[in-house]
Structure 1
Amino acid sequence: MRFNSITVADHPDAWRRAGFTVVDDKVVIGRSLVFNLTGPGDDGTRSVCSWELGIDDVEPASYAPGNLSLQAAAPSTPSEGHHLHDNGVRNCMKAVILCSNTRESVDRLIDTVDGFAKPAMDQLDDKGIHFAIWMMEGCEVGLEMVSLDPNQGDDAMMAIFLVVDDLKATIECIGENDVTPIEVYGGREMVRIKPRIGVTPGICLIEKA
C-alpha cells in the first residue's frame, strides 16, 4: 500500500516560493507521493482536499470514511525527474490523520475501504495516547491515525512530515519568518511551514535520520 497523491487547494506559486519544484501543478516528493495543487476553492478553502491510496488488486473507487475524501486505485510510483527541490526536501516521512476516537476511525477505514490492511502498529504511547500506523511504500513511515482531542469531530489529515537533507539550509531557503521555531520530534529537529505563506496542508519539515 502506498500514497499515490494528495490533492491540496493551494496555488502552485506559493509552493514555488517555498522552494518546491512545481511542474504542471504537481510537486513530486521523491518516490513517496505527488501533491496535486488545484488552487483555492471558490469559497477560498485551502489545505488537503482529498488523497489517493495505491492498493494492489482493487478496483478504482471513492470513499468518505469519517468524512475523509479518499480514493483507492492501483499503486502509482512517481516517475524519475522533477523531484529535486531547492528547499532540500527528499521524501515523505508520514501523513497524520487526527480523529476523535482512534479505535473507531481505524475500524471504519478497514471496514469501508476495499483492500485497506490492518495497521502495523495499533497501541498506546507512554502518555496513554492511542495511535495506529500503516507503513507506506516509499515513505519512511507512512500513515498515522491518532486521537489528541475527543472533540476533534470529523477525521482530517492535519500534518504531512517531509524529510530534508539539511534543516538549517531549508529554513534559509524558505525564510526564517515563514517557518515555526525549531523543535525536537522523536529526537530529530523539525519546523512547520506557516500556512499564511500559502502552503497549507500542515507541512512539517524534519531533518533526515
Structure 2
Amino acid sequence: MHVSIDELVIADAAEAWVAAGFTVDDDEVCRVGTVRLRLAGAGHGKGIVSWSLRDVPAGLTELDGIVTTVSDTPLAEPAQHANGVTHIDHVVLLSPNLPRTLAALGDIGLEARRVRDGELGGAPVRQAFFRLGDVILEVIGAPDSAGEGSSSLWGLTYTVDDIDAAAVFLGERTGPVKDAVQPGRRITTLRNREIGISVRTALISPHRRDG
C-alpha cells in the first residue's frame, strides 16, 4: 500500500484558474498530473479545504484537523495546460504542532523521507518531506512549538518544463523567475490573489540530474 492523493478540493471559481492558464473540465475539475483539483467555488471557504487519499485506513474523516475522505478512484489522466504545468511538485502543509502532525501521518503509514531545519519569513522552521504517489508533501512547523488548532494545506508548487516560457505566458500574473532553494532549479510565484486564486501558488523548473 502506498498512500497517494486523489483529489484536492479548492474554494475557487474555475474562471480564475482558466485565466492562469489551467485547463478545467466541464465538471469543474482541473487534472494536474495524476491529481484532481476540484474547484468548489468561493462559497466553500478559502484555499484547499479538504483532500481525498488512497490506501489509507477505512473510515478516515480527518488528518490532524484536515477534512479527509478515503478514495479508491483511479489516477487522473493528465491534462495539457497552456501555462506549461505538467504535474504537482509538492503540496505544503502547515502544522501548529509538528510532533502531533508527524504522528498523525505515521498513523496512516507515512514515514518522512527527509527532515531539515530552515527559515520561513525569518522564523526558524522544521520541514519534513513525505512521498504521496507522484507528489511530495512538505510539512512545515516550528521546531519547538506545540500549538493548538488544526493543520492546513497551505500551498501548491507545480513543475513546468520551461520556466521562462511559463513566465512569458503569465506576464504580470507572476513574479520574476529566480533561483529556487533546490539546487539547479528556478521558480516563479504566481500573483494568485490578483487573479482570484486563493491557494499560494508557485511554478518551478524540473529536477536536473547529472548524466
Scaled by the length of structure 1, the TM-score of the pair is 0.83
Tell me the equivalent position of 2:33: 30
Alpha-carbon distance in structure 2 between the residues aligned to 1:172 and 1:152: 42
Q: What are the residue-to-residue correspondences of 1:49-88 with 2, within 5 Å?
A: 49-55=49-55, 58-59=57-58, 61-74=59-72, 76-79=74-77, 83-88=79-84
Ranges in structure 1 where 5+ consecutive residues have no aligned partner: none
Q: How does 1:52-131 map to 2 (within 5 A)?
A: 52-55=52-55, 58-59=57-58, 61-74=59-72, 76-79=74-77, 83-111=79-107, 116-121=108-113, 123-125=115-117, 129-131=125-127
Report the secondary structure of 1:110's partner residue.
helix
Structure 1 residue 184 and structure 2 residue 179: aligned?
A: yes
Alpha-carbon distance in structure 2 between the residues aligned to 1:126 and 1:103: 17
Q: Aligned pair in 2 of structure 1 residues 68, 200: CA closer, same or farther (>3 Å)?
A: same
Matched residue, 1:10: 12
Residue 180 of structure 1 aligns with an amino acid whose one-letter code is G
Give identity over the alignment, percent: 23
> Please, which runs of 5 or more residues in structure 2 have no aligned partner?
none
SS of 1:159's equivalent in the other structure is strand
- Is the alpha carbon distance of 1:118 and 1:30 closer, same or farther for their aligned partners in structure 2, counting shifts above 3 Å? closer
1:148: Cα distance to partner? 4.4
Q: Cα distance, 1:202 vs. partner?
A: 1.4
Alignment partners' CA distance in 1, 2:55 and 2:12: 26
**What does the per-residue CA deviation read over 1:145-178, in whole Å, with 9 as the maximum and x for residues that have no partner?**
1114846953111111110011111112222x22
Alignment deviations for residues 74-121 of structure 1 (CA, whole Å, 9 cap, x no partner) = 2530035xx10010000111111011232221113333xxxx213232
2:161 matched residue in structure 1: 165
| CA apart distance, 1:183 | 3.0
Secondary structure of 2:64's aligned partner: helix
Distance 2:174 2:51 in 1: 25
Decide whether the 8 Å contact of 1:193 with 1:199 is kept in 2: no
RMSD between aligned residues:
2.3
Question: Which TM-score applies when normalising by structure 2?
Answer: 0.82
Question: How many correspondences in the alignment?
Answer: 195
Cα distance in 2 for residues equivalent to 1:13 and 1:194: 15
CA distance in 2 between counterparts of 1:120 and 1:67 reads 19
Note the 1:139-178 alignment, pairs <5 A.
Answer: 139=135, 142-148=136-142, 150=145, 153-175=149-171, 177-178=172-173
